Amino acid sequence: MPDNNLIVVKIGSSSLTSEEGGLNRERIAFFAEELASLHAEGRGVVLVTSGAVAAGFRQIGYNARPKALHEKQAAAAVGQALLMQAYQEAFGRHGIVAAQLLLTRADFSNRKRINNAMMTMEELLRLRTVPIINENDTVSTGELKFGDNDNLSALVANMCKAEQLIIITDMDGLYTDDPRRNPEAVKIDRVDQITGDIVRLAGGAGSSVGTGGMRSKIEAARIATRGGIRTFIGRVLDAGDLRLAAEGCGKGTYFDTALNSLPMKKQWLGFHSLPQGSITVDAGAERALLIGGKSLLPVGVTGLDGDFHPGDVVEVRNAEGETIGRGVVNYAAWQVKAVAGLSTDEIRDRIDVHRIEVIHRDEWVSLR
C-alpha cells in the first residue's frame, strides 16, 4: 500500500448536510473537486465520510435527527445509499470511480477482518479509485460504535500508513478558548505533543447534525500521531483550501509527530483490540515499560480489574489511574492477583506459568 503520498481526509456531517438534514450536493461536489485535484497529481486519496443518518432521516419521514438506535439505523440505511450516489456522481464528473467500504469497530478488533480490509483498500488504491469509508451504522450498536468518524479516520490512516490525515471541521483549528464566546481566544497553529492541557482546550459538539466535537478530533490526532501520521484539523471552505492543508499552510491546526508508523500488529494491539481488563503498576514498572523498553514483571504489579485469561489484551495503568499502554497478558486474572508484587523466585514456588513476564515487551504498545 502506498505510504509516501497517501492522504486520508475526513469530512463530517455538518460539512455535507444542512442543519435541517438532507444532503448539500453543492458541498459534496466542492469536496469531490478538491479531492480530485490531489488525485490528479498521482496522490492516493481515501475519504472517510459521515452523513448517512443526516442524509436519510428526512427522506424516511422523521422531522428531526432521530435519537433511538433503531431509528438512526433506519435513517442510515436510506441515507448511506443517497450519500454514495451523490459521491459517485460528483467524482464521476472528474473521471474517478468511487468505492464504498463500510466498517465497524468489530472489524478492527479482529485481525483477520482488518487485514482483509487493508488488502481491499490496497487494491482499490492501485486501481486509482477513491475508497469512501463510513461506519456501518445499520449494524453498529452501543459500545461497539465509534461514536463519530474522527477516530475511524485515524484508525484508517494508521491502517493505510498514510502520509497525512486531514480532518475537516467548521472551526479553523484549535483555540485557547471558544472563539465564538471569547474574542480574545488565540488559535494554536502547531502542536508538537498532545498533552493533558491540549485535550482540556477541546469543547463539545458544535452542530446539531454531527456527533463529534473538537475533543474527539484531538483524540483522533493523538491516535494518528502515535502511528507516525501528521494530522491537520481545520476548515476547507474555498477552492484550493484542501491543497493548502496538505501543503502545510491550511486554515487550521497541525499536529506534528517524530514517531514512525506502527507495524500492523502494534496498531491492532494499541488501537483496535478490545481490552478484557486492566493491570495497575507502580512507578518503577511504569518507567521500565515506557523508558527502559522492558517487559512487565509481577513485582511491579499493584492491582488489577476484570476477569481476563492468557492471550487476552489488557490495559496497563499507572498509580494515578492513567492508561499508559496495552499488552497481551500471559497470566489469568487470578494468577496475577496471586503473584502481584512478588519476585521471580517467589512466583515459581506459588504457581506454574509458561512465562514469567506478565506482559512481554514484544506484546506491548505504549500509548503515551
Is 190 annotated in a binding site? The answer is no
Is 214 annotated in a binding site? The answer is yes
Per-residue pLDDT reduced to its tens digit, 350-365 = 777 778 999 999 999 9
- Predicted confidence band of residue 3 (pLDDT cuts 50, 70, 90): very low
Is 261 annotated in a binding site? The answer is no
Is 51 annotated in a binding site? The answer is no
Burial of 349 per CB tally in 10 Å (0-12, 13-18, 19+): exposed
Q: Distances in Å between the alpha carbon of 80 and those of 73, 131, 208, 323?
A: 10, 15, 19, 36
Give the DSSP H/E element, type plus range, for residue 233: strand 230-235
pLDDT of residue 246: 96
Task: Report whether pLDDT(276) > 90.
Answer: yes
Q: Distances in Å between the alpha carbon of 14 and those of 5, 18, 20, 138, 146?
A: 28, 7, 10, 20, 17
**And the C-alpha cell for 117?**
480490509
Is 216 annotated in a binding site? The answer is yes
Is 140 annotated in a binding site? The answer is no
Which residue has better confidence, 47 or 20? Answer: 47
Winning range, highest mean pLDDT, from 60-74, 209-223, 306-320: 306-320
Is 13 annotated in a binding site? The answer is no
Is 215 annotated in a binding site? The answer is yes
Q: Tell me, what DSSP letter sits at residue 101? A: E
Task: Report whether pLDDT(266) > 50.
Answer: yes
**Are residues 198 and 174 in contact, defined by beta-carbon separation less than 8 angstroms?**
yes
Q: What is d(CA 252, CA 94) in angstroms, rounded to the nearest whole number?
A: 27
Q: What percent of the chain has pLDDT over 90?
A: 56
Q: What is d(CA 314, CA 209) in angstroms, rounded to the nearest whole number?
A: 35
**Are residues 270 and 237 in contact, defined by beta-carbon separation less than 8 angstroms?**
no
Is 172 annotated in a binding site? The answer is no
- Predicted confidence band of residue 183 (pLDDT cuts 50, 70, 90): confident
Per-residue pLDDT reduced to its tens digit, 33-63 = 999 999 999 999 999 998 888 888 988 889 8
pLDDT of residue 207: 40
**Are residues 325 and 367 in contact, defined by beta-carbon separation less than 8 angstroms?**
yes
Is 1 annotated in a binding site? The answer is no
Strands 278-281 and 301-305, by their bridges, are antiparallel
Report all structural domains of the chain as residue ranges with CATH numbers, in order of start.
Answer: 6-265 (3.40.1160.10), 275-366 (2.30.130.10)
Cα torsion angle, 147, 199, 260, 368, sign: negative
Is 257 annotated in a binding site? The answer is no
Is 293 annotated in a binding site? The answer is no
Among 86, 19, 11, CA closest to 242: 11
Strand partners, 253: 233
**Are residues 256 and 225 in contact, defined by beta-carbon separation less than 8 angstroms?**
yes
**And the C-alpha cell for 241?**
483550501
Is 217 annotated in a binding site? The answer is yes
